[in-house]
Homo-oligomer: A and B are copies of this chain.
Amino acid sequence: MSAPIPNTADRIVFAAMELFGEKGYGSTSVADILRAADANSGSLYHAFPTKQDVLVAVLQRYFDGIAPMLLAPAWEGVTDPVERIFALLARYRGLLEITDCSYGCPIGSLALEIHEPDPPVRALLAANLDAWVMAIEACLDAAGDRLPPEIDRRGLAQLVLSVMEGGVMQARTHRSLDSFDAGVAALRDYFGRLQAAAPGKNP
């Protein structure tokens, strides 16, 4: 069940996931990845044509991990759909906290770092953001008439993503969780007002 004996390609992707999250794509050298994965350059280039293909594999693994590695642990023991949204935000807060505000959302960092019109990479970045937004949107749908019916669920989910990414950006820059918390508190206030204005308002 455990000790899956990871092969070289998996070790490389795993090491690259950590390094790209910590230092970004451009600032991570192939040599860095090889050192962290305890591999040789020939092995990397046997498994991946270029460094960019390592990034593609990393983004694919992030995408595959959204439900099992991100949402599932964040939502353990939380069934209320609105509370699930704030539980997910709390998970990012915890990540910031244990890394002293230096590690945030790797997808967001990479999305702002990668500038060239580089179709497979941008498509995977977009897919990751979309999956995140759709998970929030599903919570909003599950909240049903606890929210006013005229509210655009997709747009509200995109606002939640902005609160998370913008909060991470400010927290990292200020090396403080204060602005992250303030953004979440403002979002909480907004949700309170939405629920107060909804047809199905009960505790």
Contacts and interface: CB of A to CB of B under 8 A. Distances in A.
Interface of A: 22-24, 26-27, 102, 104, 108-109, 111-113, 115, 122, 125-126, 129, 133, 151-152, 154-156, 158-159, 161-167, 169-170, 172-175, 179, 182-183, 185-187, 189-190, 193-194, 197
A113 B111 contact: no
Nearest to A104: B112
Contacts of A27: 26, 115
Contact of A125 (B111, B122, B173): B173
Contacts of A170: 129, 158, 161-162
26 contacts: A24-B26, A24-B113, A26-B27, A109-B113, A111-B169, A112-B169, A122-B173, A122-B175, A125-B173, A129-B170, A129-B173, A133-B179, A152-B182, A152-B186, A155-B183, A158-B167, A159-B166, A159-B182, A159-B183, A159-B186, A162-B166, A163-B166, A164-B166, A165-B165, A190-B190, A193-B197
Given A126-B174, A158-B183, 15 more contacts: A22-B115, A24-B115, A26-B26, A27-B115, A109-B112, A126-B173, A133-B179, A152-B182, A152-B186, A158-B167, A158-B179, A159-B183, A161-B170, A162-B162, A193-B194
Closest 10 pairs between A and B when the two form their complex, measured CB to CB: A162-B166, A155-B182, A159-B186, A165-B166, A26-B26, A166-B166, A111-B173, A190-B190, A158-B179, A109-B112
